[in-house]
Amino acid sequence: MNWLARQSVPFLTSRIISSASLVVLVYVSEGRAELLASMLYLMAAATAIVATFTLYNRKKTV
């Protein structure tokens, strides 16, 4: 279970980053800068939460 948790979090983070880049392309092409900024803030917050959770779990298990 610990191995699965360590392997799935970088995969999840890469999926979040790829979906964020797709959202950036869509909103830039439509010219909605306010929505783009709010989505970027949400994606940065989600990535920070995932990274903090990963570091906490690794510190706790090791």
Tens digit of each residue's pLDDT (9 = 90 or more) over 11-39? 777 777 777 777 777 767 666 667 777 77
Instruction: Answer whether residue 11 is part of any domain.
Output: no
Give the pLDDT score at 1: 47
Instruction: Give residue for tokens 């830039």.
Output: 28
User: d(Cα 16, Cα 3) in Å, to the nearest integer?
Assistant: 21
Backbone angles phi, psi at 54, to 5 degrees: -65, -45
Look at the chain and report how many structural domains it folds into: 1
Domain of residue 60 covers: 31-62
Give the pLDDT score at 9: 67
Instruction: Answer whether residue 9 is part of any domain.
Output: no
Instruction: Answer whether residue 3 is part of any domain.
Output: no
Which tokens in the block code for residue 29? 């092409």
8 A C-beta contact, residue 12 and residue 49:
no
